[in-house]
A and B are shown apart, each in its own frame.
Chain A
Amino acid sequence: MAQNPSLVHRIPQSKYIDAIRWLSPVSALDRFAAVAYYDTDTNSPSIEIICVDPNPEGSSPTLTPQSSWTPPSRISSLKTAHSTHQPLLAAATFSGSIHILASDLINGGTMESEATVSELGFHSGPVSAVDLREGGTECVSVGEDGRVNLVSFVGDSSKLSYRRIFDANGLVGYTAVKWASPSEFATGGYGFGLQWWDQRKPGGPVSQFKGNWCQGKTSGIVHSIDIHPSRKHTCLAGGSSGTVFAWDLRAQQQPIVLSGAGTDEAPISLLSESEVWEVQYDRYTRSSNTSNISSTRILPIMICSEDGILAVIEQGEEPLELLAEPCAINSFDIDQQNPSDVICSLEWESIAILTRS
């Protein structure tokens, strides 16, 4: 199964997990995570802050719920901002609202809703993805309705103001979004398409990456995007048919396929044939430091997939499988402070915590 020694703990929950994120720690001892649950028995969604006790005695870690907050409907996307004085959460729902939550981890991990946008016309239908800008004053939300909204919040007002950046009137649907810089962000959608946006140049995407690069063989949906803070010109995306590719804005229309479907000529080791639900740059490096890697090379990335794979992919190398579960891994998060630790949500109502050594 796993090719390297790493400690895995699977902790069964009694609810479905829609999303999971680490929260930046406030002290060296306590580790916290935010989990979006959905209880099918009562049809009730919730967001909970849990304290992760690694349990040094070697037995399974314990998760202690600290506080809970009830959103109006299920969570479609959950993001956190790390560089704020207290962890901020942005939660998007299937009913088309966005909620900014602040949690006070020092005083018992309480959580309160800072602000909410839920008015009619914000999004029609579910919000498919949301991203919080580092520093936490703005977030961008996208939906399959083709709307791209910028929500800014200053702090004390409970009603957020939002600005519509673009409305494609449903002709284009967006399924993923990620900030690249304070004014730029990238979106992804159907047909493996990516769009680059700049707030300073309104009226539409600044640059588009043609989706149909795989020549109609298999097309798919982008589920997740990541952009490395030191490589803002490269947009990493993961989606259907095990596809993970990078779009270098400097080399406009040629994708760098890292895994899955793609061009015929380059034999790429096929890690997974099913949906890649999430991609993130893996800041946990084993030997060489990242600054040595040339700027054209893609930094190591981690992916999770519908067929239960959690793996690290490095360009031009054999992928390293960390987990091979019998059920789907729907989301994961790498701890920013301790990148060796990964938390995953599994389809079978459980959370997996992986510590790499």
Chain B
Amino acid sequence: MPGASSDSGGGALVPISPESQGALVYPLRHGLKSPISRLSISWSRGNSLRVSVFAAPYSGSSVEDDAGGKVVEVKLGGGDGEISDAHWRRIAYGSVSPFALLQSRKNAVSSLSKMSMNSSPYNADWWDYIMEYSRDINALLGSQRSASVPVIDDPKSIIMKGEEPTSLKAAWELLEMFYAESASHSWLPECLVDWLADYDSLFSGTHPTVHSKLVDFQKELVNMQVVEDNPKYWEVMSSALAVGWLDIVVKMLRLHGSYQLDQLSNRETENGLVEAVAVLISKMPRMRLDQEAGKLGECFNARPDFVKAWEKWRGQINKLDSSAFWFQCAHQQTREGLRSMLQIMLGNANCLCSATCHWIELYISHLLYIRPFIVGLENMYSLAQKSIQLKPMASAHRLMGLIIGILGENTEVVLAECLKGFGPWMVAHAMELLTAGSDNAEMLLHEERQNLGGISIEELHRLVYAQVLSSHPLTWQIAPIYLISCMKHGMVLLQILLSQQPVQDNQLLLKSIEICRLYELHSVTSNIMKIAGVHHWKHGRKGSGVFWLQQARDEYRLNRIAQQLFDTVGKTISDDSFKQWEGLIQLLGSDSKTAGGLEFLHKYRHFKKSLQHVCDGKTTDAARQAVESLITLMKNPSTPQRFYLPLLHDSLKLLNWKDRPLLNVSQTNLLLTKLQDLSMARLRPDFIESELPPQAVNAVRLALATNLGRAILEE
């Protein structure tokens, strides 16, 4: 995955290898028929490019079928060959909860240790938390291998085919072994033996391995009649023994022809030797905590016991090696094969070197048979260096670099190898293990660095991972979890991320708003709402636009769009289409604060309704109510001037009420003043004339004057 590139300048943490893998060709499927005149290339989401293809200006006769251009997206890079994009996303989703849980525990622990001042944050609970985190992540990367045991045990199936292992899981287990399992340091060598047993097949792609030898032999085994005559049988067994796969070796030994009933009598000595070696192999003392069921070897978890048992076992092998029975063994291949296996168990360096394929296998064989009592990473590291010298390789697998980094206790190398080999996800999550127990690593990774813009290496890698997440439309929602754990730049980047989300779709918009709510980013919320409101408004969805602007309490924009709305209101609201407006007016509610200038619509509707009642029933009470709402409308400063005349014209009936004048003197005066204001406003150039007949003003003026006269008389 790209995106992890840092500046090529002085502050580069990870050197970008200049070796190019040759040019890659991405075909463009633009489907344009006419020749292309121009190309424009820009970054799109994630690691895809947006290419705009412009056709040459058209000179032909018909224009019907061809577009003038097309925009296509080109996805760069295949990513990790081992893990598909969808699988990466699944890992990303799954690691959110363990990461978040660990962060909150960290915070709790650090606040606790601040309170008590002296206690170390690394107590027993702490290691449990780290281990739980590591196990949760490990479980995400694939199920445990060698879980399935076949119901019918096929004697000729020597190697079990489980789920295909991934390098990612192998790498995580390495980190877990060295950094999370603090208590397991004395049985690290045995952990490595198990690790190689699980993951040796990963190296098969680039190097010959013991695993691939076994797989090849398995294929031939089906057609083999007398296995012990085949030199490959002995070679493969020696190799498997060298890397400590005892159960496979013993199972293979039992395939030896001397076990067959018809041959047992005349090959008695030979069979005795084979069985003796098999028993010795299955009694090999091992320094480990527990043994899985079905695995061979005798376990010791205390060093003195182990040393004692080891010496005894070695003695037994030596005794067998120098026994006289070998001269009685007639079968040459068996004799030589078994003795070379004894040499391996006796730690003959040359035998080990020829039995193993690559340096990790050689390293494991040295740990098993030459230096079983090795202690300390320093010694393990120098042994690894020696193994590499004995078995140099042209190209190193990404796991090999990681092992060297870990054994060399070089945190920076480990980080760089993680990033190079496994991408930003690995670095961001492995960081927790690296800093778990080592104060040195913690200081190194948490130190604020000038060349990184004042942030720590830990924060840098979290930000990088968050950027990778942000660039995908499905994973951007989990980026905030990582961003908020970044003290310096996290919050700002989170605000930018949220502000960049598309607002067209309500569901997505609401998901963004939900994240804002969680992190109390109220200003971002209201910004997003404003953008959404204007977007909807521009696309003719006036109701949606008004809603979002109201939610954002954006009076300024509400007032602006109110002016536009009134243009349409003036034309349509008077008639049947009032039903359309009904919903919008309801949405506005009676709360004038959130409605802005649109509050007018609410009062207008009220007035219209009461006027309707007057026309239907003609009761004086209804008419009085209508007058009340007319007066409130005219008094209200938010009533646009252009509505004065239509309002008064609509109320002619009220002004000329037959029974008695409905408006008193002051009310009539108010209306007259407003009419006066209107004639003044008319002189201004920006005045919008209502669509009423020209005599309307006169009719209203006359009615008002009459009413005034009647009102004076009445008073």
Contact = CB atoms under 8 A, between A and B. Distances in A.
Nearest to B594: A216
Given A125-B539, A208-B582, A219-B551, A190 B587 contact: yes
Nearest to A348: B93
B387 interface: no
Given A172-B580, A203-B579, A191 B544 contact: no
Interface stretch (B458-466, B470-478, B639-647): B470-478
Interface stretch (B186-194, B408-416, B510-518): B510-518
A349 interface: yes
Interface in A113-154: 124-126, 128, 144-146
B86 interface: yes
B68 to A, nearest CB: 21
Contact of A14 (B84, B477, B539, B581): B84
Contact of A171 (B511, B542, B591, B594): B542
21 contacts: A14-B89, A14-B90, A40-B472, A40-B473, A169-B540, A169-B580, A171-B584, A173-B544, A190-B587, A191-B586, A191-B589, A193-B587, A210-B586, A216-B591, A274-B514, A326-B96, A327-B93, A348-B89, A348-B90, A349-B89, A349-B474
Interface in B459-516: 472-474, 477, 505-507, 510-511, 514
A347 interface: yes
A212 B536 CA distance: 21
A208 B87 CA distance: 48
Q: Which of B86, B474, B511, B541 counts the most chain A CB atoms within 10 A?
A: B541
A173 B541 contact: yes
A189 interface: yes
Contacts of B580: 146, 167-169, 171-172
B316 interface: no
A211 B90 contact: no
B592 to A, nearest CB: 10
Given A170-B541, A191-B589, A349 B514 contact: no
Given A170-B542, A173-B544, A349-B86, A211 B474 contact: no
Contacts of B75: 41
Interface string B517-550: 1000000000000000000100111111001001
Given A125-B541, A173-B544, A221-B506, A306 B583 contact: no
Given A41-B75, A173-B547, A275-B510, 20 more contacts: A14-B87, A14-B90, A15-B86, A41-B86, A94-B505, A125-B539, A125-B541, A144-B536, A144-B541, A146-B543, A172-B580, A172-B584, A173-B536, A190-B547, A191-B587, A219-B551, A221-B506, A327-B477, A348-B90, A348-B93
Interface in A195-232: 195, 203-205, 208, 210-212, 215-216, 219, 221
A167 B528 CA distance: 28
Contact of B590 (A204, A212, A219, A307): A212
Nearest to B100: A326
B343 to A, nearest CB: 47
A216 B517 CA distance: 18
Which of B90, B510, B539 has the most C-beta atoms of chain A within 10 angstroms of its own C-beta? B510
A314 to B, nearest CB: 26
A40 B474 contact: yes
A189 B547 CA distance: 10
A351 interface: no
B97 interface: yes
B164 interface: no
Contacts of A311: none
B268 interface: no
B477 A170 contact: no
A273 B505 CA distance: 21
Contacts of A168: 543, 580, 583
A244 to B, nearest CB: 16
Nearest to B45: A40
B85 interface: yes
Q: Is chain B's binding surface mostly helix, strand, loop or mixed? A: helix
A347 B587 contact: no
A327 B481 CA distance: 12
A195 B543 CA distance: 15
A173 B539 CA distance: 12
Contact of A193 (B85, B579, B583): B583
Contacts of A144: 506, 536, 541, 543-544
10 shortest interchain CB distances as A-B pairs: A14-B86, A172-B583, A212-B589, A348-B93, A204-B579, A190-B547, A171-B584, A216-B591, A170-B540, A191-B587
Nearest to B537: A170
Interface of B: 73, 75, 84-87, 89-90, 93, 96-97, 472-474, 477, 505-507, 510-511, 514, 517, 536, 539-544, 547, 550-551, 576, 579-584, 586-587, 589-591, 593-594
Contacts of A221: 506, 510, 547
Interface in A255-291: 273-275, 277
A348 B88 CA distance: 12
B473 A145 contact: no
A308 to B, nearest CB: 11
Contacts of B576: 203
A240 interface: yes
B93 A189 contact: no
A306 B543 contact: no
Contacts of B536: 144, 173
B551 A326 contact: no
A259 to B, nearest CB: 17
B544 A306 contact: no
A212 B97 CA distance: 38
Contacts of A108: none
Contacts of B511: 275, 306, 328
B540 A211 contact: no
B544 A190 contact: yes
Contacts of A171: 542-543, 580-581, 583-584
A16 interface: yes
A193 to B, nearest CB: 6
A104 B409 CA distance: 63
A175 interface: yes
Nearest to A167: B580
A273 B73 CA distance: 38
A240 B474 contact: no
Contacts of A193: 583, 586-587
Contacts of A167: 580
Contacts of A175: 506
Nearest to B585: A171
Interface string A35-79: 000001101000000000000000000000000000000000000
A240 B513 CA distance: 11
Nearest to B578: A204
A330 to B, nearest CB: 8
Contact of A41 (B85, B505, B514, B583): B85
B543 A189 contact: yes
Instruction: Pick the most buried of A205, A221, A330: most chain B CB atoms within 10 A of its CB.
Output: A221
Nearest to B46: A40
A182 interface: no
A12 interface: yes
Contacts of A172: 543, 580, 583-584, 587
Contacts of B73: 43
A16 B539 CA distance: 27
A204 B584 CA distance: 14
B586 A211 contact: yes
Contacts of A306: 510-511, 514
A172 B73 CA distance: 36
B292 to A, nearest CB: 22
Nearest to B579: A204
Contacts of B550: 219
Contacts of B547: 173, 190-191, 219, 221
Contacts of A195: 583
